[in-house]
Amino acid sequence: MNELSPEVEVCVVGGGSAGIGAALAAARAGRETVLIEAGGQLGGNAVRGGVHNWEPGVGGTAFPQEIYERLRRRPNAVTVWSFGRHWCWPHRNHPPFPGGEQLADRARTYADTLQRHGTRGLVADPDRVRKLWHGIVFEPDDYAAVVEEMLAETGCCHIWKNLRFASCEGASGRVGRIHAMRENGRRITIRAPHFIDATADGLLCRAAGCESLVGEDSHAAFREPSAPDHPRPRMINAVTLIYRITPRSQPAVEPLPAGIPAACWFRNDWGGGSIGEYACGDRNINMLPTMEGSEFLDFVEGGNDGFARAYAECRRRVLGHWHFLQVEYPEFQHFRLKWIAPTLGVRETRRIIGEYALTEQDLHQGLSGQRHHDIVAIADHALDIHGQGDRGTPDGCPELSEPYGIPFRCLVPKGWRNLLVAGRCASFSHIAASSCRLSRTMMDLGHAAGLAAAQAVRKGCAVGEIDIATLRASLAAQGATLAWRPRAEPLPA
């Protein structure tokens, strides 16, 4: 297929976790697929945003596990981690550590990373957390290479990078074609019977005219017990610019660049972060957070290339933060700053209104209480909001007692026939999104969207008319976990 008049069966826009899952599923189902990605590398936030980490959680047994197995064949490309120190555990935080420490733990397996629920929380029960919470840290370039390899093996997935979705044409609940732009201004028009928006910001859906929400929803929106009486559209989860450090032979404090104050200028103190060890010994530093969501919105809505200005300000904060860590915690003098993520880690922007919205009630009912016929992914991460309106501080983070399911209808924009949305901008309430937005869950949702689009192409039907039992059976046959049974043995005390 060339770029002059591309016509495919499934067009996926956005090559992050969800887009990768969607393109892989559609192409493995034998559908001619194109994946367009604005950046020069696949992976989205999990690569260019610096989130080289999969948090503990259920699900993730299909494509994520396959990616993990392939990464294991590459030297130092991936490892499981376990908790080391944590600043909420004074009795274990020696020498004092500025946040949560995740240490490479080669004795653990992938299966160990598939649980978060059932603990009483990070602060309440550190021993159980150390025994039960394990995640994955991977090398981003290896991850991107593995994913491209998997897509290429399908023989029917075209990956077009450095191509930015710009606009779309359509009517009566159908997208007809989309227009995308090369950096040199060259316009490419893509026709397809089915489209999947995996841009994380719902860009294709919004261009098509789908309704969306932003910020805290009011109680009236979804009757959520913890929602405020009035919507607060500027209250979005905070933004973090992730950076990476590498060991150095001679301890030193790196000089603070000119123009960067040593004292924190944007809040009371520098705060800490989630600091994880890569297989090679480098560390990934996820400041919690770098910029409040509302401040980020002020930048991006303020025009004049607001995203680039927000990035520049976050970069200054990263340099200040790194200096603070080196001065206050001497162990960091054995490291040097190696890399700052090329794009901001944005946890939340707009969410598309779908045929169903996942809510706080779903999270608390769990699979045993939910009554949905169309669950296509499961998750169990706690409610996790950083920054203003924090619901993500270790002691404020309500852990769930069991996993919950995410219905397929969350991926169907309300009233649309050939458009699906996968990723953090799917149909979730603000509260529900704070839990389910993790990378592996987003990939699982992309998987479901890709299979659904493939089925819709085969049957020539609308996405809302596909056979859900077939979709769920295909997901299960491909390794996805859709049900949950309590462990036969109790969790370790």
Ligand X SMILES: Cc1cc2nc3c(=O)[nH]c(=O)nc-3n(C[C@H](O)[C@H](O)[C@H](O)COP(=O)(O)OP(=O)(O)OC[C@H]3O[C@@H](n4cnc5c(N)ncnc54)[C@H](O)[C@@H]3O)c2cc1C
Which part of the chain contacts ligand X (CB under 6 A), choosing from 44-52, 114-122, 217-225, 323-331?
44-52
Position 23 contacts ligand X (CB under 6 A):
no
Residue reference for tokens 């493939």? 454
- Give the C-alpha separation, 75 to 8, whole Å: 37
**Residues, the chain, total?**
493
Q: How many beta carbons lie within 10 A of that of residue 73, not counting itself? A: 10
Site string for ligand X, 135-164 (x = CB under 6 A): -----------------------------x
Position 406 contacts ligand X (CB under 6 A):
no
Position 16 contacts ligand X (CB under 6 A):
yes
| CA 191 to centroid of chain Cα atoms | 28
Q: How far is the CB of 21 from ligand X (least distance, A)?
A: 8
Q: CA nearest 410: which of 243, 205, 219, 256? A: 205
Q: How far is the CB of 130 from ligand X (least distance, A)?
A: 17
Q: How far is the CB of 465 from ligand X (least distance, A)?
A: 25
Q: How far is the CB of 145 from ligand X (least distance, A)?
A: 16
Which part of the chain contacts ligand X (CB under 6 A), choosing from 9-17, 78-86, 367-375, 413-421?
9-17
CA distances, 55 to each of 59, 76, 380 (Å): 11, 19, 11
Q: How far is the CB of 164 from ligand X (least distance, A)?
A: 4
Of the candidate residues 117, 323, 424, 472, the single one contacting ligand X (CB under 6 A): 424
Q: Which is nearer to ligand X, 199 or 427 (CB)?
A: 199
- Give the C-alpha separation, 241 to 77, whole Å: 22
Which part of the chain contacts ligand X (CB under 6 A), choosing from 8-16, 352-360, 453-461, 480-488?
8-16
Q: How far is the CB of 363 from ligand X (least distance, A)?
A: 16
Phi (first) and psi of residue 148, to 5 degrees: -65, -40
At residue 12, what is the residue type?
A: V
Q: What angle do CA 131, 136, 139 make, to 5 degrees?
A: 150
Residue-wise burial string across 164-177, b where 16 or more C-beta atoms lie within 10 A, e elsewhere:
bbeebebeebbbbb
Of the candidate residues 102, 119, 439, 481, the single one contacting ligand X (CB under 6 A): 439
Site string for ligand X, 337-366 (x = CB under 6 A): --------xxx-------------------
Site string for ligand X, 190-229 (x = CB under 6 A): --------xxx--x--------------------------
Q: CA nearest 41: which of 59, 25, 19? A: 19
CA distances, 285 to each of 51, 88, 126, 189, 454 (Å): 9, 18, 21, 40, 39
Position 82 contacts ligand X (CB under 6 A):
no
Position 64 contacts ligand X (CB under 6 A):
no
Position 51 contacts ligand X (CB under 6 A):
yes
Which part of the chain contacts ligand X (CB under 6 A), choosing from 10-18, 83-91, 110-118, 257-265?
10-18
Cβ atoms of 310 and 19 within 8 Å: the answer is: no
Q: How far is the CB of 442 from ligand X (least distance, A)?
A: 4
Position 126 contacts ligand X (CB under 6 A):
no
Q: How far is the CB of 126 from ligand X (least distance, A)?
A: 19
Structure tokens at 56: 């503990």
Position 297 contacts ligand X (CB under 6 A):
no
Q: How many beta carbons lie within 10 A of that of residue 133, not counting itself? A: 21
Position 387 contacts ligand X (CB under 6 A):
no
Q: How far is the CB of 49 from ligand X (least distance, A)?
A: 6
Position 437 contacts ligand X (CB under 6 A):
yes
Cβ atoms of 256 and 323 within 8 Å: the answer is: yes
At residue 348, what is the residue type?
A: E
| CA 220 to centroid of chain Cα atoms | 27
Q: How far is the CB of 218 from ligand X (least distance, A)?
A: 24
- Give the C-alpha separation, 108 to 220, whole Å: 45
Helix (H, G, I), strand (E, B) or coil at 365: helix
Of the candidate residues 6, 22, 34, 53, the single one contacting ligand X (CB under 6 A): 53
Position 400 contacts ligand X (CB under 6 A):
no
Position 37 contacts ligand X (CB under 6 A):
yes
Cβ atoms of 17 and 45 within 8 Å: the answer is: yes
Q: What is the largest CA-CA distance in the chain?
A: 65
DSSP string across 270-331: ---EEEEE-TTS-EEEEES-SB-HHHHHHHHHT-SSHHHHHHHHHHHHHHHHHHHHHHHSGG
Q: Which is nearer to ligand X, 57 or 405 (CB)?
A: 57
Position 367 contacts ligand X (CB under 6 A):
no
Q: How far is the CB of 437 from ligand X (least distance, A)?
A: 4
- Kindly determine how many residues on this chain lie close enough to bind ligand X according to the rule CB under 6 A: 38
Position 36 contacts ligand X (CB under 6 A):
yes
Nearest residue relative to ligand X (C-beta): 16
Q: CA nearest 445: which of 468, 421, 462? A: 421
Position 378 contacts ligand X (CB under 6 A):
no
The binding site for ligand X (CB under 6 A) comprises: 13-19, 36-39, 44-46, 49, 51, 53-55, 164-165, 198-200, 203, 240, 242, 286, 345-347, 423-424, 437-440, 442
